[in-house]
Amino acid sequence: MAAQKVKLLGFWVSPFAYRVIWALKLKGIDYEYIEEGIFNKSPLLLQLNPIHKKVPVLIHGDRVICESYVIVQYIDETWPHCPLLPQHPYERAMARFWADFAETKLLDTAWLGLCARGAEREKAAKLAMEAVEKIEEVVKGKKLFGGESIGYLDICLGWISYWLPVWEEVGSMQIIDPIKFPATSSWMNTLLHHPVIGDNLPARDAMIEYFQKRSKDI
């Protein structure tokens, strides 16, 4: 099964698609990338993910898997070399817990901040900062969440190192203050300097332009 062809439906600026790209690259898995236009969804996407109509979608042989964190775990379990999730069940539970926390308490609130204005934006940014305070405690004393190598939690939270600074710039908000959050800032830096992450990121200028337009449209 592992030898079957792998395809990834993605969108060039989607942090969720990049989770899957990083997981595939870390494991050295060959795949074909298919770019989707999210405003003009292809019949292929609508057929493969009729429920959410979203990227990423992983196609492995005749199997179709949707939702980035489901895909990353699928990849980890199908290709067990270079494991992404920790071995110990408690540490796995912690990785899943913090991935879920960051998704709901940081990503959602930061995105809300980007799309909101005035007091609403300030409120969202404040909530996002409170979430970072908790993440700071988790990453303190660690090079990466996965220890010496990139793990599941680094992949799930990786968007913080690159997408969040773009959203901060576009939204004129500061969520990651390097003085308040030295451990998180250091982790972001380590991640960006890792070849698999650093060499697999969308162009920043294009991202700024894209999110400026999107935040106005919303």
Question: Would you call 69 helix, strand, or coil by DSSP?
Answer: helix
Q: Which stretch binds another protein (CB under 8 A): 11-19, 57-65, 159-167, 201-209?
A: 57-65
From the list 134, 140, 180, 193, which residue makes contact with another protein (rule: CB under 8 A)? 134
Residue 74 near another protein by CB under 8 A = yes
> What is the closest distance, in whole angstroms, from the C-beta atom of residue 203 to another protein in the complex?
31
Q: Which is nearer to another protein, 52 or 180 (CB)?
A: 52
> What is the closest distance, in whole angstroms, from the C-beta atom of residue 97 to another protein in the complex?
6
> What is the closest distance, in whole angstroms, from the C-beta atom of residue 73 to another protein in the complex?
7
Judged on CB neighbours under 10 Å (0-12, 13-18, 19+), 45 is buried
Local structure of residue 158 (DSSP, 8 states):
T
Judged on CB neighbours under 10 Å (0-12, 13-18, 19+), 161 is buried
> What is the closest distance, in whole angstroms, from the C-beta atom of residue 39 to another protein in the complex?
22
Backbone angles phi, psi at 178, to 5 degrees: -65, -20
In degrees, rounded to 5, the angle at the alpha carbon of residue 121 between the alpha carbons of residues 115 and 123 is 140
Contact 128, 158 (CB under 8 A): no
Q: Which is nearer to another protein, 59 or 166 (CB)?
A: 59
Q: Which stretch binds another protein (CB under 8 A): 28-36, 86-94, 142-150, 200-208?
A: 86-94
> What is the closest distance, in whole angstroms, from the C-beta atom of residue 210 to another protein in the complex?
26
**Binding-residue pattern over the window 138 to 167 for another protein, x denoting contact by CB under 8 A:** ------------------------------
Q: Which stretch binds another protein (CB under 8 A): 37-45, 92-100, 112-120, 161-169?
A: 92-100
Backbone angles phi, psi at 65, to 5 degrees: -125, 135
Local structure of residue 180 (DSSP, 8 states):
T
Could you tell me the CA-to-CA distances from 49 to 11, 13, 42, 97 in Å, in that order? 14, 19, 11, 26
Give the footprint of another protein on this chain (CB under 8 A): 51, 60, 63, 65-67, 70-71, 73-74, 77-78, 89-90, 92-93, 96-97, 100-101, 134
